[in-house]
């Protein structure tokens, strides 16, 4: 896959910025959980460019920063445990380094467990590329009673070895000095022979571990018992059975916590239309704007503002929760216990927490995929989580199901979850071949990081930057879709029969009935892709003529006439109702979910491809459910 959404105006085809910016390229190399992302985000802030390596589904992250008037390009290389196993990520990383794309490579290692985290360094040693070693998480090592003689390691390696805490700004002075003067290469000890070809598979694991042992001999001391048995909590967290229940509980608690900024900030934002709308409309009408333009400007601008604020607030909360769990070291445990389950879908264990969050909101689930290592797996995870019924579906479907099926509502809900499982398995087959090819799938290899205190200041700073970026991008996307929906539903007199959507609906009625949906239900099906909460309001407007459809949909109103249920039960047959319930549950989650998916994978092509797939499969499901249920009702 080509890099279809990275900024080619700033980076050349190799990913290095030197050809066009004359900046020095600093490559960041390290195992997962080594602190690469923290260092990268601290250095580059909002000046980041995300795409894919040409011809790969491996994510390419680059960013710019300046120090003392000099420009630098930071390249966050894919995290892996070695350079010799042959996975797509490892091949990309090895080729980038061996190809001379970087002026200097910063190798990050977890100072609290150097015996295992230096395995990447052993693979890197024979490549003869200028480097510095960052002994990250020195604070964690200190808490565990571990001291590291950085000077001795520097002498043995021949390159700078810096004690470092990526979240501590005070440590960056020595880092900047090191990259300014970097030019030395690792001295290759006899225990780790060089290879004839730099791209060959390097020394065996036994040789590499022996080299690490010799390197650390006398350089690492444990002043207290730091290798104690797992705590009782950790034994539960890593249990194949109890660990799953614990992860589910933590996921639910995290979802509730993520709702706090949504309720606080989003709730305040919802006051904007009622407070600012009337005076703004009066002003525009007073200066000569037509009712149509006035309604378009006031409705679209203010309601889009509310949508974008709500999305940014929820993304802030859910991303903060996931970053917190990742930062303290728990996320690796949840990934471990669910890895075997997620592997059946072509994913790794890290995808499980975003799936839990999707039961509350698909937007949060999409934001949560940031913890997944590769772009292909993140996009596949988002494609699968669209099939997970969100809170809006779980609130609207039972209301409608009860109108038509009464006590049978429970069986309908069970049927929706059963279809969800089948849907996800099929979707994994459909998209998995392109996003996560079989030959590139590997089991999850990971070190369980030690538990440690979160870095609150860095967490809040990172979340604020991400939420601001989400708000600006979401506003643009949702604004365009809101205008289109407005034009289709607006009427001057509020009479539904004068709206474009009404006229179009009557015209396409013969086609929509082929799928088991009368035109009113089909229009409600389309509205469901806008917001699931809008479905009841749209059905009310179409069947009862109660007000302007746009106002009803955008305000997410569920106010209905007292006889709403009776009217629907009389106008809609049970097979039609059942077909609609399943079609609505498995169509595009909502406009905001689409926007969130695009903001996370940064590929309009893949976002539209997934959306089209869900629209088609939802209509096919509607057709099947209608035909089968017609045999019984």
Query: With 50 as the cut, is the pLDDT of residue 33 above it?
Result: yes
Contact call for residues 365 and 354 (beta carbons, < 8 A): yes
Averaged over 204-221, what is the pLDDT?
Answer: 84
Cα dihedral sign, 614-619-622-628: negative
Residue 265 to residues 22, 310, 476, 596: CA-CA distances in angstroms? Answer: 43, 7, 20, 18
Residue that wins the pLDDT comparison between 553 and 66: 66
Orientation of helix 391-405 relative to helix 409-435, angle to 10°: 140
Complete DSSP assignment for 230-290 = PPHHHHHHT-TTHHHHHHHHHHHHHHHHHHHHIIIIIHHHTHHHHHHHHHHHHHHHHTT--
Query: With 50 as the cut, is the pLDDT of residue 7 above it?
Result: no
Q: Per DSSP, what are the bridge partners of residue 64? A: 73
Distance between CA atoms of 212 and 264, rounded to whole angstroms?
51
* Tokens standing for residue 410: 């429970």
Query: With 60 as the cut, is the pLDDT of residue 139 above it?
Result: yes
Contact call for residues 332 and 449 (beta carbons, < 8 A): yes
Predicted local distance difference test score (pLDDT) of residue 537: 66
Q: Phi and psi (nearest 5°) for 146?
A: -110, 130
Predicted local distance difference test score (pLDDT) of residue 410: 87
Using one digit for the tens of pLDDT, what is the confidence trace for 472-517?
766 776 677 667 767 777 777 767 678 787 788 888 889 999 999 9
Q: 40: exposed, middle or buried (C-beta count within 10 Å: 0-12, 13-18, 19+)?
A: buried
Specify the range with the lowest mean pLDDT, choosing from 61-75, 220-234, 272-286, 332-346. 220-234
Distance between CA atoms of 335 and 448, rounded to whole angstroms?
10
Q: Which residue in the block uniquely carries the two structure tokens 């009782």?
A: 232
Contact call for residues 76 and 40 (beta carbons, < 8 A): yes
Q: 191: exposed, middle or buried (C-beta count within 10 Å: 0-12, 13-18, 19+)?
A: middle
* Tokens standing for residue 119: 């395995």
Of residues 594, 247, 528, the one with CA closest to residue 386: 594
Query: With 60 as the cut, is the pLDDT of residue 562 above it?
Result: no
Residue that wins the pLDDT comparison between 544 and 548: 544
Locate the domains of the chain by residue range: 18-226, 235-391+432-460, 475-629
Distance between CA atoms of 591 and 554, rounded to whole angstroms?
11
Distance between CA atoms of 525 and 580, rounded to whole angstroms?
7
Using one digit for the tens of pLDDT, what is the confidence trace for 114-137?
887 888 888 888 888 899 999 998
Of residues 435, 467, 474, the one with CA closest to residue 596: 474
* Tokens standing for residue 161: 């070895």
Contact call for residues 332 and 33 (beta carbons, < 8 A): yes
Give the number of other CB atoms < 10 A from CB of residue 376: 28
Using one digit for the tens of pLDDT, what is the confidence trace for 88-120?
777 888 888 888 889 999 999 999 888 878 888
Helix (H) or strand (E) holding 565: helix 564-571
Query: With 50 as the cut, is the pLDDT of residue 18 above it?
Result: no
Specify the range with the lowest mean pLDDT, choosing from 10-24, 137-151, 506-520, 582-596. 10-24
Rg (CA), the chain: 28
CATH of the structural domain 18-226, one choice from 3.30.1180.20, 3.30.830.10, 3.40.1370.10, 3.40.50.300 = 3.40.50.300
Predicted local distance difference test score (pLDDT) of residue 447: 63
Predicted local distance difference test score (pLDDT) of residue 402: 87
Task: With 0.85 as the threshold, say if the pTM is over it.
Answer: no
Q: Which residue in the block uniquely carries the two structure tokens 């009803």?
A: 552
Query: With 90 as the cut, is the pLDDT of residue 613 above it?
Result: yes
């Amino acid at each position: 896959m080509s890099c279809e959404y990275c900024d080619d105006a700033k980076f050349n085809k190799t990913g290095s910025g030197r050809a066009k910016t004359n900046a020095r390229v600093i490559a960041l190399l390290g195992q997962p959980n080594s602190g690469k992302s923290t260092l990268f985000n601290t250095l580059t802030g909002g000046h980041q460019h995300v795409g894919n390596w040409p011809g790969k589904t491996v994510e390419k992250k680059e960013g710019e920063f300046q120090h003392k008037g000099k420009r630098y390009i930071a390249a966050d290389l894919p995290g892996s445990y070695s350079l010799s196993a042959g996975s797509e990520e490892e091949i990309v990383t090895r080729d980038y380094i061996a190809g001379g794309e970087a002026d200097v490579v910063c190798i990050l290692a977890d100072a609290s467990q150097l015996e295992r985290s230096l395995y990447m360094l052993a693979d890197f040693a024979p490549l003869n590329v200028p480097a510095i070693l960052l002994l990250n998480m020195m604070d964690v090592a200190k808490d565990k009673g571990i001291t590291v003689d950085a000077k001795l390691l520097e002498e043995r390696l021949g390159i700078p070895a810096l004690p470092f805490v990526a979240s501590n700004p005070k440590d960056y002075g020595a880092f900047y000095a090191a990259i300014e003067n970097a030019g030395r290469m690792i001295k290759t000890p006899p225990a780790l022979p060089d290879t004839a070809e730099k791209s060959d598979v390097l020394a065996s694991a036994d040789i590499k571990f022996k080299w690490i042992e010799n390197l650390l001999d006398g350089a690492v001391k444990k002043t207290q018992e730091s290798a104690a048995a797992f705590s009782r909590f950790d034994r539960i967290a890593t249990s194949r059975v109890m660990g799953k229940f614990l992860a589910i509980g933590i996921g639910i608690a995290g979802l509730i916590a993520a709702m706090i900024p949504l309720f606080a900030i989003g709730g305040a934002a919802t006051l904007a239309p009622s407070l600012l709308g009337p005076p703004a409309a009066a002003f525009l009408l007073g200066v000569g704007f037509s009712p149509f333009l006035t309604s378009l400007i006031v409705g679209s601008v203010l309601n889009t503002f509310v949508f974008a604020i709500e999305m940014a607030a929820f993304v802030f909360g859910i991303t903060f929760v996931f970053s917190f769990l990742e930062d303290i070291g728990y996320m690796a445990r949840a990934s471990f216990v669910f890895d075997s389950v997620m592997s059946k879908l072509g994913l790794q264990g890290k995808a499980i927490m975003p799936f839990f969050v999707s039961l509350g909101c698909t937007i949060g689930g999409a934001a949560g995929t940031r913890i997944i290592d590769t772009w292909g797996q993140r996009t596949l995870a988002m494609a699968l989580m669209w099939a997970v019924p969100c809170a809006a579906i779980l609130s609207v479907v039972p209301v409608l199901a009860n109108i038509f099926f009464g006590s049978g509502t429970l069986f309908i809900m069970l049927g929706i979850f059963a279809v969800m499982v089948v849907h996800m398995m099929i979707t994994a087959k459909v998209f998995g071949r392109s996003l996560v090819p079989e030959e590139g799938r590997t089991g999850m290899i990971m070190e369980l990081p030690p538990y440690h205190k979160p870095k609150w200041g860095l967490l809040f700073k990172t979340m604020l930057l991400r939420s601001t970026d989400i708000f600006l991008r979401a506003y643009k996307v949702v604004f365009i879709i809101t205008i289109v929906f407005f034009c289709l539903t607006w009427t001057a007199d509020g009479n539904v029969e004068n709206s474009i959507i009404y006229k179009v609906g009557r015209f396409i009625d013969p086609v929509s009935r082929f799928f088991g949906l009368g035109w009113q239900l089909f229009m409600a099906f389309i509205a469901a892709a806008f917001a699931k909460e809008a479905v009841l309001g749209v059905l009310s407007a179409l069947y009862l003529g109660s007000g302007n459809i746009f106002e009803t949909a955008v305000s997410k109103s569920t106010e209905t006439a007292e006889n709403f249920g009776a009217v629907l039960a009389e106008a809609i047959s049970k097979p039609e109702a059942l077909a609609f319930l399943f079609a609505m549950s498995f169509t595009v989650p909502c406009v905001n979910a689409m926007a969130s998916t695009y903001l996370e994978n940064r590929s309009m092509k893949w976002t539209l491809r997934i959306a089209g797939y869900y629209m088609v499969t939802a209509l096919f499901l509607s057709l099947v459910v209608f035909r089968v249920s017609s045999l019984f009702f």
